[in-house]
Chain A
């Protein structure tokens, strides 16, 4: 009898709590959808996806958020207006869509006076993602002309030639590798380059080859002394763009700098 009573009290208490929890609003948190693109993608979807890339995973704001590092895109640049307003007139013969797309895929194509080439590896994005970025940038003050057809074509091309990966250059000359991969966009070597990250000059005196290799493979893991604020700005995709031999060439070259 006692056991039954105890069981009754326990079950009763549990029942009341379960009932209370069930009698209040039942909300399930939904998982945000990941956009998938096809030929039927709408303009709004493209722009939204591009915006998410621009603000988040794309890492664009690392440079385009700072007025001195890269041209403004969302606000006026040199009196020509936002990117959507100026894109069509920047290069004779190239319409807005072509101009932005080519600027993305070939960072050295149309470099603005006073700026360095973009440290941006378009090949880590799918074709659809690139078009989403273009659409988002066009939307900044101009009409969006990217269509589902562009996206579908890019997706087909991606499927035909599996994207990304592979070195940008076949050279085994450390300087050429570094120039091709835009290392000097952030690091200074013999007066060449921009001093955003730690200089390559004298690097061998400061850290050893292991540390250099690690820093290239996983740039976000450890900050160089005095550059803690910049931690996480170096693109983690560099490692995907070097062959193993090239990586070693660069590491050994940098470890030999100084002393």
Chain B
């Protein structure tokens, strides 16, 4: 542990460990325990590392003694005659590094620009559906109050397996056969952030109007989801919604609670 005796070295070590954890730990450790994971986008890696760096700076400087010790090697490299070599390497190396980064940024890039999407755009208060106007505000799934839930579930299952499975997949995780071909990729219904956060009327709107019916707001859209109102009846859509919720075990958000929930998000600081 002699290597790690000074705060400066400790700080560097913490930063290195944090980087390793973020860049490699998160993608590769959870799968060892059977939990899905993936590489973190660079923007988020940068954000995490910045936070960690600020944390480290706070740690080295919140105590006078540690702060002095932390600064010592920096100071030494900058002024002591016998550290001339290290100083030279730094003075040449840092600008070179900056130049390298700048060069990398200036290179023409073949990849598509990053895409930004608001996944849940603002729903209209009413939509046209097969020539009728449907009020979305306050709308509940009409099938929940008639007939037996099992029947609707079975009907929804039929609809799902005839129409949706190719993209949204057998496990409802958005991993159907065609899924890799799309951007945005099909929605993962099992995720806590998709249908679990939405009212059934919202889901109805998205199924009925699909990609072409998405509002312009929030983001550029190029979803390949068809407008299912042209292929399915209202009851078929409502039953497949029941199937989605029953199968994933999620519950739809109910109306009177919506304001409260989003209110938290508003300024849940």
Residues of A within 8 A of B (CB): 24-25, 27, 29-30, 51, 55, 61, 74-75, 82, 139-141
Contacts and interface: CB of A to CB of B under 8 A. Distances in A.
The 6 closest A-B pairs by CB, nearest first: A25-B116, A74-B132, A140-B131, A55-B133, A74-B133, A141-B131
B212 to A, nearest CB: 12
Contacts of A141: 131
A74 B133 CA distance: 8
A30 B131 CA distance: 28
B219 A25 contact: yes
21 contacts: A24-B116, A25-B116, A25-B219, A27-B116, A27-B218, A27-B219, A29-B217, A30-B216, A30-B217, A51-B128, A55-B126, A55-B133, A61-B133, A74-B131, A74-B132, A74-B133, A75-B132, A82-B131, A139-B131, A140-B131, A141-B131
A30 B217 CA distance: 8
Contacts, number: 21
Interface residues of B, number: 10
Contacts of A51: 128
A21 B126 CA distance: 34
Contacts of A74: 131-133
Nearest to A74: B132
Given A27-B219, A30-B217, A82-B131, 9 more contacts: A25-B219, A27-B116, A27-B218, A29-B217, A30-B216, A51-B128, A55-B133, A75-B132, A141-B131
Interface in B107-145: 116, 126, 128, 131-133
A139 B132 CA distance: 11
A67 to B, nearest CB: 13
Interface in B230-262: none
A151 B131 CA distance: 23
Interface string B177-213: 0000000000000000000000000000000000000
A51 B132 CA distance: 11
Nearest to A140: B131
Contacts of B218: 27
Contacts of B216: 30
Contacts of A139: 131
A55 B217 CA distance: 21
A88 to B, nearest CB: 17
A82 B128 CA distance: 15
A141 B131 CA distance: 7
